[in-house]
């Protein structure tokens, strides 16, 4: 070990060398064969195969390289196979053969990213597969009568993107995966009038991206073990929470004002969460005005156990006030941008500010003079508040000085409250 010429890597156990090579793109792992005679065949023990659009030196084509690697692989079991081909045209028969080979070698994980490719039937009855990703350009689109029987008894993680037929493709995969715990579903364009029904008793994490739809569908959740729910896109579906009794965290990112029609009902369905993240994209003042009318007609639900709330995008002061009053156990709140010209203090101080709220953070913030009364209310009534963190742009030195002067003499209900400024 003291020698300057010691070859420490070559002295490692073969299993450790294989693990190291498996952590890098396969083309680099194969290139280690030129290091020495000792390394000539070491790459053949790689268990994680990762192929992309780049053809390594010494091979006439990318297909030749992948064929060679899979043909020489001496592992009795392949942990994972990743095929990421977006810029290179590959014969579909070759990709099918590679997937079949990986399944023969008892692959546990498959990540397939390729344009307009129909998956081989062997994939849908693989008994060793635990993780499957069919992402973006790789689309499984078949007529319902052509969809094969799906039986994936060990599949726990599924990440799939479809364009027009989620029921004949993605939902067929879901139905054939009795052990599914982690599901990510992207629907780019949906034309059917069928409802999305997620009846998955084993599911713990659900991520949905819904881009466009010609219909308003119901999105029914019967997921008693679900812990995390993430949604982004256009909220054209009505969420029906039939069983989300284990839900801990919910995150929603909305692209346009259409979410206002279902917002309050959605919040009622997830009122039992501890962590709630809401992000508004393409904000307009009409969005908040519409939502304020909805809340005045149908108030926010009470979030009995919510401890952390994060609001990204522009949020009206009245909406923030409503969330504070509806969250008696709230400990942390993160606010990105304030909207509204005047702060109207509620008649009663929110319960969370009297006994629970310890942390307030303002992210990516642009401060206005009309925001100071809101800060005065927070500092003057939050009795157990410990920290207020304010993030400002690096160029806003004058703004920091002005804000520091405004806050310095505001009364604080909590003796241990500290205000911190950070630049980014």
Q: Where are the domains of the chain?
A: 7-76, 91-247, 274-424
Q: Which positions ≥6 away from 252 have C-beta within 8 Å?
A: 230, 231, 232, 235, 259, 266, 277, 278, 279
Q: Which of 115-119, 261-265, 319-323, 368-372 has the lowest mean pLDDT?
A: 115-119
Q: How far apart are CA 254 and CA 261, in angstroms?
A: 12
Taking each helix axis from N to C end, the angle separating 397-408 and 372-381, rounded to the nearest 10 degrees, works out to: 50
| Domain range 7-76, CATH architecture | Up-down Bundle (1.20)
CA pair distance 357, 65, nearest whole angstrom: 59
Which of 60-69, 306-315, 323-332 is predicted with the least confidence, judged by mean pLDDT? 60-69
Per the DSSP assignment, residues forming a β-bridge with 149 are none
Tokens at 296, concatenated? 């005045």
- Dihedral angle of Cα 34, 38, 42, 44, to the nearest 10 degrees: 80
Secondary structure letter of residue 56 according to DSSP: P
Mean pLDDT of 400-407: 85
User: What is the DSSP code (8-state) at residue 328?
Assistant: T
Tell me the C-alpha distance between 173 and 112, whole Å: 15
Q: What span, in angstroms and rounded, lies between the C-alpha atoms of 202 and 49? A: 29
Beta-strand (E) ranges in 115-237? 131-134, 157-162, 182-190, 196-199, 205-213, 218-222, 228-233
| CA–CA dist 123, 133 (Å, integer) | 12
Tell me: pLDDT of 7 over 50.
Answer: yes
At 366, the pLDDT band (50, 70, 90 cuts) reads confident
Length of the chain: 424
* Separation between Cα atoms, residue 344 and residue 300, nearest integer Å: 18
Q: Quote the percentage of the chain above a pLDDT of 70.
A: 75
**Amino acid 12: pLDDT:** 65
Chain-wide mean pLDDT for the chain? Answer: 81
**Eight-class DSSP state of 318:** H
C-beta neighbour count of 263 within 10 angstroms: 21
Tokens 């890098």 belong to: 24
Contact between 291 and 259 (Cβ < 8 Å): no
Number of Cβ within 10 Å of residue 246's Cβ equals: 14
The contacts of residue 42 (CB under 8 Å, 6+ apart) are: 14, 17, 18, 21, 32, 33
**Does residue 377 contact residue 353 with C-beta atoms inside 8 Å?**
no
* pLDDT winner (highest mean) among 44-58, 185-199, 339-353: 339-353
Q: How far are the Cα atoms of 92, 193, 243 from residue 335, in angstroms, in the given order? A: 49, 37, 30
Residues in contact with 227: Cβ distance below 8 Å, sequence separation at least 6, in sequence order:
204, 205, 246, 247, 248, 249
Average pLDDT over residues 235-244: 83
Rounded distance between C-alpha atoms, residue 71 and residue 65, angstroms: 10
Most trustworthy range by pLDDT among 13-27, 50-64, 183-197, 254-268: 183-197
Q: Per DSSP, what are the bridge partners of residue 240?
A: 220
Q: Give me the residue label for tokens 């007609």.
A: 297
Look at residue 167 in the predicted model and tell me its pLDDT.
65
- How far is Cα 421 from Cα 404, in angstroms, rounded to an integer? 9
CA-CA distance, 398 to 376, in Å (whole number)? 21
Confidence of residue 142 (pLDDT cuts 50, 70, 90): very low
Q: Is the pLDDT of residue 347 over 60?
A: yes
Q: Work out the pLDDT band at 129, boundaries 50, 70, 90.
A: very high
> What mean pLDDT comes out for the span 296-317?
87
- Closest alpha carbon to 234 in 193, 281, 277: 281
Output 118-122 pairs: Cβ under 8 A, ≥24 positions apart: 118/92, 118/142, 120/96, 121/148
CA angle 92, 94, 97 (to 5 degrees): 110
- Return the DSSP state at 284: -
Q: Does position 99 have pLDDT exceeding 70, yes or no?
A: yes
Find the mean pLDDT for residues 222-235: 91
For the beta sheet containing 218-222, the strands, ordered from the edge strand earlier in sequence to the opposite edge, are 196-199, 218-222, 238-243
Is 269 in contact with 237 (CB distance < 8 Å)?
no
* Mean pLDDT across 3-23: 67
């Amino acid at each position: 070990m003291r020698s300057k010429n010691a070859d420490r890597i070559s002295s490692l156990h073969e299993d450790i060398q294989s693990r190291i090579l498996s952590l890098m793109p396969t083309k680099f792992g194969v290139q280690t064969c030129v290091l020495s005679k000792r390394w000539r065949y070491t790459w053949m023990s790689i268990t994680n195969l990762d192929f992309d659009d780049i053809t390594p030196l010494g091979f006439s084509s990318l297909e030749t390289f992948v064929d060679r690697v899979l043909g020489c692989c001496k592992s009795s079991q392949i942990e994972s196979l990743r095929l990421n081909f977006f810029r290179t045209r590959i014969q579909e028969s070759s990709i099918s053969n590679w997937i079949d080979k990986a399944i023969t070698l008892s692959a546990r994980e498959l990540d397939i990213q390729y344009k307009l490719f129909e998956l081989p039937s062997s994939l849908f009855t693989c008994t060793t597969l635990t993780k499957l990703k069919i992402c973006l350009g790789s689309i499984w689109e078949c007529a319902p009568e052509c969809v094969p029987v799906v039986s994936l008894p060990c599949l726990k993680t599924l990440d799939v993107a479809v364009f027009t037929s989620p029921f004949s493709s993605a939902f067929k995969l879901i139905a054939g995966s009795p052990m599914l715990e982690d599901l990510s579903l992207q629907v780019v364009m949906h034309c059917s009038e069928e409802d999305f029904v997620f009846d998955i008793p084993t599911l713990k994490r659900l991520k949905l991206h819904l881009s466009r739809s010609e219909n308003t569908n119901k999105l029914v959740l019967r997921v008693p073990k679900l812990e995390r729910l993430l949604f982004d896109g256009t909220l054209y579906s009505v969420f029906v929470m039939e069983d989300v009794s284990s839900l801990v965290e919910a995150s929603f990112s909305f692209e346009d004002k259409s979410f206002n029609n279902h917002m309050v009902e959605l919040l009622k369905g997830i009122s039992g969460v501890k962590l709630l993240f809401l992000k508004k994209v393409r904000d307009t003042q009409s969005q908040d005005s519409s939502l304020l009318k909805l809340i005045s007609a149908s108030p926010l639900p009470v979030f009995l156990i919510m401890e952390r709330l994060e609001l990204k995008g522009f949020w009206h002061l009245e909406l923030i006030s409503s969330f504070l009053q509806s969250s008696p156990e709230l400990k942390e709140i993160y606010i990105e941008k304030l909207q509204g010209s005047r702060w109207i203090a509620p008649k009663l101080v929110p319960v969370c500010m009297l006994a629970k709220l310890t942390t307030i953070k303002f992210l990516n913030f642009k401060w206005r003079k009309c925001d100071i009364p809101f800060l005065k209310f927070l500092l003057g009534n939050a009795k157990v508040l410990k920290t207020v963190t304010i993030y400002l742009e690096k160029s806003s030195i004058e703004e920091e000085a002005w804000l520091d002067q405004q806050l310095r003499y505001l009364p604080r209900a909590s003796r241990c409250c500290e205000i911190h400024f950070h630049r980014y």
